[in-house]
Amino acid sequence: MPARAHGVMVSAAAAAGLLLTLVLPAEGAGQVTEFTIELPESLGPGEVGAITVSTTLTDPIEEPVAITFDLPRRALALLDAPDNCALDDFYYRIRCVEEGLPSGVTSHVFSIAGRSVGHTDYYLVNATLQFEPSPGDPPLASAFDDMLVLDGELNGRQGDLDDSGTADVVAQDGADRLLLYRGDGLGGFGPTSVVGTGFRGRIVLPGDINSDIDLADDVIYQTASGALYAYPTKNPADGTLGRGVLVLTGFTNWTVLGPGDWDGDGNSDLIGRSPGGQLYLFAGNGNMTFDGARLIGTGWGAFTLLVTPGDFDGDGHVDLIGRDAGSRLLLYPGTGAGGFGTPELIGLRWSVRSISGVGDFDGDLDADLVAVYTSGQLVLYPGDGAGGFETPTSIGHGWGSLRVVG
């Protein structure tokens, strides 16, 4: 993407590994600027790493310089940044301003942590080095666009319909409307809006099934006749949905679940429980299509409720939770390859109206659950990242007439 401004030719080149370099040579003799971003080789759930942004100059620059780049908030948490760098929380865009740069190397180091719920492949987008021009001069700006940053074990479902980087709660009301209750990232709610109408059937949040750049969750709609329609997020800024596309049929009286990436191939999948209690995997292809049924379990008809929490035990693989007839809660760890580990009892007396996985709702990097009681109380059950729970907290009332989507 060559661009000429300020007498400088801009070209982009990616170095070996995860060191990304942009070289800005002068047209004649003079300074040569290198703009580099160094990234961790890998970053697992909860692991801490660093992103280093550097400029290398042969001659100093006296005019202001601005460096900006975006982080995928649903996959990374920013822990620390230099004082001269400001963060726009909604977009997770970081902007650093220097009054000038000396010769040699100037570095900015950002401490980051991997989230235990997020997207498998995620990107650093719009990394820009801009020399703020003198009056009348055009700006010089160059960007790394859509470059793969990490390919870690962050496969999960976030429940983030508006791509704000924080998990949301989605619910259906009695008027067949789909309501978005925006999470504030701290266990509470922001604004609420209607993002869809006419949804009489069951709604599932499978994650990002069309692999678009916004990474916002998409929606699966199960009709009474057993058809499954995929609704991609049309406008991530407000969570509204695009046109539905028929993706599968034959799911009458089935329980359809959106676990995230169950088989570890980087695409969000679907799981279906048949009326006979068999459990089938429908592997996603990342383009709103799914492979045929693959049997992964039998005897699941005994469960009164199935929940897809994301990676609930912190091992980097998405899991499944079931409530049995005795109101016990059992965790079935996913293996990351389409199977199950050894089930574990994680709760007793869960005789609540509904239980849903909502991703990391309180911002501590661990997957959480919400439960609706018969009284209409909405309770957050924070996960501890190891298959258990922290202290539950009431976060709402009057939810008895709503169906929380999970």
Which of the pair, 113 or 341, is modelled with greater confidence? 341
pLDDT band at 185 (very low <50, low <70, confident <90, very high): confident
Q: For the chain, what is the mean pLDDT?
A: 79
Given a cut of 90, is residue 230 above it in pLDDT? Answer: yes
Which of the pair, 384 or 66, is modelled with greater confidence? 384
> What average pLDDT does range 82-111 have in this prediction?
81
Name the phi and psi angles at 301, rounded to 5: -70, -15
Give the pLDDT of residue 223. 96
φ/ψ region of 262 (left if φ > 0, alpha if ψ in -120 to 50, else beta) reads alpha
Give the pLDDT of residue 100. 80
Name the phi and psi angles at 300, rounded to 5: -85, 0
Render pLDDT for 5-22 as a digit per residue (tens, 0 to 9).
232 222 333 333 355 555
Give the pLDDT of residue 2. 23
**Residues facing 159 on adjacent strands:** none
Given a cut of 80, is residue 385 above it in pLDDT? Answer: yes
Which of the pair, 349 or 124, is modelled with greater confidence? 349
Q: For residue 137, what is the DSSP state?
A: S
Task: Decide: 46 and 116 in contact? Cβ < 8 Å.
Answer: yes
> What average pLDDT does range 289-299 have in this prediction?
96
Give the pLDDT of residue 73. 62
Give the pLDDT of residue 31. 53
Give the pLDDT of residue 217. 77
> What average pLDDT does range 66-95 have in this prediction?
75
> What average pLDDT does range 285-298 have in this prediction?
94
Render pLDDT for 244-289 as a digit per residue (tens, 0 to 9).
999 999 999 999 999 988 998 878 899 999 999 999 999 999 889 9
Cα–Cα separations (whole angstroms), residue 211 to 123, 148, 241, 270, 367: 12, 13, 15, 15, 22
Name the phi and psi angles at 233, rounded to 5: -70, 120
User: How far is it, in rounded angstroms, from Cα 73 to Cα 90?
Assistant: 9
pLDDT band at 122 (very low <50, low <70, confident <90, very high): very low
Give the pLDDT of residue 20. 55
> What average pLDDT does range 132-136 have in this prediction?
51
pLDDT band at 58 (very low <50, low <70, confident <90, very high): confident
Which of the pair, 160 or 368, is modelled with greater confidence? 368
Task: Provide the 10 A C-beta neighbour count for residue 301.
Answer: 14
Give the pLDDT of residue 234. 74
Render pLDDT for 304-351 as a digit per residue (tens, 0 to 9).
999 999 889 988 789 999 999 999 999 999 998 999 999 999 999 999
